Structure 1
Amino acid sequence: MSATSSRPSYAAVLRIPYARRTFAAVLVGRLSYGMVPVAVLLAVTRATGSYAVAGTVMALFGATSVFLSPVRAALVDRYGPRRALPPMASLYAVLLGVLAVASWRPGVSGPVLGAVAVVAGACTPPLGPTMRTVWSELAADRGLLRRAYSLDGVAEELLFVSGPLVVGGVVQFAAPAAAVAMGAVLVVAGTFAFVTSPAVVRMRGQGAVPKERGGPWAPRVVAGLVPPVVAAGGVGLSLGALDLLVLAFAEQRGHGDDVVAWIFAALSAGSAVGGLVYGAVEWRSGARVRLSLLTAGLGLALAGAGLAPDLVTLTAAIACAGLFVAPALTTAYLVADASAPPAARTRSGAWVNTAVNAGVSAGAAVSGLLVAHFSPALGFALAGGTALLAATAVGAGKRRGRPAAREESGMEREESAVERVGELR
C-alpha cells in the first residue's frame, strides 16, 4: 500500500500504512551497527592487550562488511527481504556471539578473533539499503520519498551517535564483550520484526535476470549510478580525514582529546538539522544539480574550517559543514534509486553506502599522512578539496550527459505534477 500527499511532510511519511512499525523495527536492528564497532574494538583490546591487534581486527571486520555489501544486497533483490535477511542476521548474530565469548576474558589469539570478525562482517545484513527500498515502495511521489529518505538519514545519524553512548553505559557494569552480545541480540530482534511487517511481507524477490537481457546493470543504469557513487565517495573521504585533523588542530592549541567529542557532536547535530531542513523544502532544481551543489558546499565548509583561529570557531565551522552531510547523502540515494530498475534497487543503494563507508576508511588512513606532513589548515583544505573534486566530477558528468539531464528534468516535472494533484501511484 502506498501513500501520497499534495503537501508532503514528515508527519505524512509516518502516516503511511505500516511505516512506523517497519521503520521502528529496522532502527532497532540498525542500532547494532552504531554499537558493534566500538564494542568490538574495546573487547578485543581488553582480550589481547594490544591496540594493534584490535585495529587489525576492526579493519578486517569493516572491510568485509563494507565491500561485500552490494553482494548481500543482490541476494535481497533476488530472493526478497523475508528470505534473504533472516539467515544473514542469524549467522551474523551467532558470529558476534562467538566473538563476544572469545573476547570475554584475556588470552585469546588475535588471529582467531580476526578470522571470526572477517566472517561476521561478510554476513552483515543490509538493513539500511533494504529500508530505503521499502521507502521507495511505500512513498508514492518523489516529494514524499525525499522526506522519507531525509528522515531515514537523520535517524541513522542519531543511531551512530547514540550507539557508542549505549556501549559506554554497558561497560560501566559489564565487560565490553557484553556490548558485543547486546549488538547481536538487537540485530536479530530488529531484523525479524522488520521482515514480519506487512510492508515487507508483500515485497517479493525479482529472481534471476536472464543474461541475454544484460541483467539489471544495463549501461544506462551504470551511468546513472556513477554520480551518486562518486559524490558519496567524496563525502566519505572528506569526513574520514576529520578525526585526526580535528585532534591535531586541538593539540596544536594546547587542548586535549576530550574536546574532540564535542566537535564531532556538533558535526552530527549539523547533519541532523540539515537533513530535516532539506527534506522539508520543495526544491525546483534537479537531483543531480543538488547533489553537485551540496557536495561542493561540504567541501567549501571543510576548507574554511581550517582557517578557524580557535576551537569555538572550529566547532561552529564543523557544525556548518555538517549541514551538508545528510542532504548530500540523501540526494545520492535518491539519484541511485531513480536510476535503478526494480531488480537492482537494493544493490544501487548499497553501492552508495559502500562508497561513503569505503571513503571514510580511506580518508582515515590518508589523514595520518596529512597530519604528519602538513599543517591542520592545509589538511582541512585538502579534505575539502576532495569533496569539491567529487562535486566537479558530478557536475561535469551532468553537462556531458545532456539527454540524461533532459530526461531527469522531465521526470522532475512529472513528479511535481503528481505531487500537485495528489495522484496515487
Structure 2
Amino acid sequence: MTSPYRAIYRTPGAMAFSVAGLVGRMPLSMLGIGIVTMVSQVTGRYGLAGALSATLALSGAVTGPRVSRMVDRYGQRRVLRPVCAVTVVSVAGLLVCTWAGAPDWAYFVCVLGAGTTPSTGAMVRSRWSEILRGTPEKLHTAYSVEAVVDEIVFIVGPILSVGLSTGWFAEAGPLLATVFLAAGVLALTALRSTEPVPHPDAHRSAGSVLAAPGLAVLVGVFVGTGAVFGAVEVVTVAFADERGHKALASVVLATYALGSCVAGVVFGLTRPRGTVAGRFRLGIVLMGVSMIPPLLIGNLFFLALALFFSGLTIAPTMVNAMGLVEQLVPRGRLTEGITWTSTGLAVGVAAGAALAGRVIDAHGARAAFWVGTAAAVFAAAAAFLGYRRLRPAPDREEQDHDGADRSSTQDHQRHLGTLEGEGVA
C-alpha cells in the first residue's frame, strides 16, 4: 500500500471501521436486486418484483435522512442497532411471505420496513471526518478509499445476490444481504473510540439540513448524476440483448465500475489543487462529456471501452462531492448531509432507469443513450447555476488557519476519555 493510504490507516481504529463499513454496505447493492430475483423466481411476477424494488427505494429515500439525523443527535451506537433490527426483522418477514405465498400487501409492508436500512457509507465517512479533522489531504485520501469501496460493493454485491438466488435457493440473496448488514453494523457500533461525538443541540430547533442552500444544489446535481447511472445500467442490458449477448451486459457494466475504481485509487494519491467546489464542477463537466462516445458506438467491445473511460470521471467527482458536503453543512449534522446526497442519487437512479426503459421500448437501446447524456447535461447545468451557493457553513468558516476546530477536538477528546473510563477500547 502506497504512503498516503498507509498514513490514513495508521490512525488507530481506522482499518477496523473501514472494513466494518465495507461489510455493512453490501446490502446497498444486494438487497434490491436480490428481492427482484427472489420474487420473480418464486411467483413469476416481474411486475410485483419491480414494484417491490421501487417501494424499497422510496422507503429508503424517505427514512434514510431521518435515521442519519438521529445518528447525528444521539450517536451511531444508540440509533444504528435498533434501526438495523427493524431491517433484519422486515427482511425475515419478507422471506417468510415468499415461502408461504402471502398476499401482496404483506410483501409491501415488509419492504417498507426493509427500507430503513441505515446508510453505512455515511457513517464511515463521518468517522473519517472526525478522526482526520484538520488534515484535508488525508481526508481527501480517505474519501477516495470510500469511493473505491462503493464501486467494489456494486461490482461484487449483485453477482453474489443473483448468483446465490438462482444457483442455491431463491431467498439466499436477500438473506446474505441481511447477514452482511447485521454483521457490519454490530462491528461498526462496537468501535466506540472512533464514533463521532453526538450533537443534540444542533437539532433541537433546526429543520432539515437540506435547507442549507449549497446542499440543496448538491442534491440536485446528484439527482442528475444518479439518472446517468440508472440509464447506463438499463440501456447496457438492452443494448447487449439486442445483439444477442445479454449475458455480457454484466461484464460491460463491470468495466464502468472498474474505471471508477482505477480513478479512485489514483485520485487518492494526488494532492488536490484549487477549491473543492471548482474540482467538483470540473468533474461534473467531464462526466457529461464522457457520455458522448456511447452515443456513437455500434458493438459491445467499444461500449465497454467507452464506459471504462466514462467511469474514470465517477470516483473523483464523488470524492469532491463528499468534501463539499463536509464544508457545506454544520459539523453536528454531517451524517445527515451525506445521506441526503445518497438519497438524491437513489432518486436519480430510479428516474433514469424508468425513463430509459420507456425510450428503449419506443425507439430501441441506441436512442436511449440520449437519456444518460441529457441527465449529465442536467447535472452540469445544476452545478454551474448553483455554483455561488456552494459556500462553507458558518461553523466551518470559524475554523483555525490549520483547518482544525479546537473546541470540537476538545469535545472529542473528552468523549474518548469517557469511553476509556467506561473500559471501552
1:245 aligns with 2:235: yes
Structure 1 position 51, deviation (Å): 0.9
> What is the correspondence of 1:163-312 to structure 2 with a 5 Å cutoff?
163-171=157-165, 174-201=168-195, 203-207=197-201, 209-211=203-205, 214=206, 217=209, 222-252=212-242, 254-312=243-301
> What is the correspondence of 1:42-61 to structure 2 with a 5 Å cutoff?
42-61=37-56
- Higher mean C-alpha deviation, range 338-347 or range 376-385: 376-385
1:290-341 CA-to-partner distances (Å, cap 9, x unmatched) read: 1111111111111221112322111100111111112212211210111111
Give secondary structure in 2 for the equivalent of 1:125. coil
- Amino acid across the alignment from 2:216: V
Structure 1 position 53, deviation (Å): 0.9
Over the residues paired in the alignment, what is the CA RMSD in angstroms? 2.8
1:126-149 CA-to-partner distances (Å, cap 9, x unmatched) read: 211111111100113111111111
Structure 1 position 186, deviation (Å): 1.9
- Amino acid across the alignment from 1:138: I
Q: CA–CA distance in 1 between the matches of 2:298 and 2:179?
A: 46
Task: State the TM-score, normalizing by the size of structure 2.
Answer: 0.86
Structure 1 position 20, deviation (Å): 0.5
Select the residue among 123, 126, 139 that pairs with 1:130: 123
Q: Match for residue 119 of structure 1?
A: 113
Structure 1 position 342, deviation (Å): 2.1
Closer/same/farther in 2, CA of residues 263 and 88 from structure 1, 3 Å limit: same
Select the residue among 90, 95, 98 that pairs with 2:90: 95
Q: CA–CA distance in 1 between the matches of 2:277 and 2:46?
A: 42
1:59-83 CA-to-partner distances (Å, cap 9, x unmatched) read: 1112101232111111111111010
Closer/same/farther in 2, CA of residues 206 and 8 from structure 1, 3 Å limit: farther
1:110 aligns with 2:104: yes
Structure 1 position 231, deviation (Å): 2.2
Give secondary structure in 1 for the equivalent of 2:200. coil
Structure 1 position 369, deviation (Å): 2.5
> What is the correspondence of 1:335-374 to structure 2 with a 5 Å cutoff?
335-374=324-363
- Amino acid across the alignment from 1:66: A
Q: CA–CA distance in 2 between the matches of 1:131 and 1:115?
A: 29
Closer/same/farther in 2, CA of residues 282 and 416 from structure 1, 3 Å limit: farther
Q: Which runs of 5+ in 1 are unaligned?
A: 1-6, 419-424
Q: Match for residue 308 of structure 2?
A: 319
Structure 1 position 157, deviation (Å): 1.2
Closer/same/farther in 2, CA of residues 230 and 199 from structure 1, 3 Å limit: farther
Q: CA–CA distance in 2 between the matches of 1:204 and 1:161?
A: 33
- Amino acid across the alignment from 2:185: T
- The number of residue pairs the alignment matches comes to 402
* % identical aligned pairs: 27
Closer/same/farther in 2, CA of residues 320 and 173 from structure 1, 3 Å limit: closer
1:146-168 CA-to-partner distances (Å, cap 9, x unmatched) read: 11111011112111211122224
Structure 1 position 54, deviation (Å): 1.0
Closer/same/farther in 2, CA of residues 286 and 293 from structure 1, 3 Å limit: same
- Checking the alignment, whether the CA contact within 8 Å between 1:47 and 1:108 is kept in structure 2 is no
Give secondary structure in 1 for the equivalent of 2:274. coil
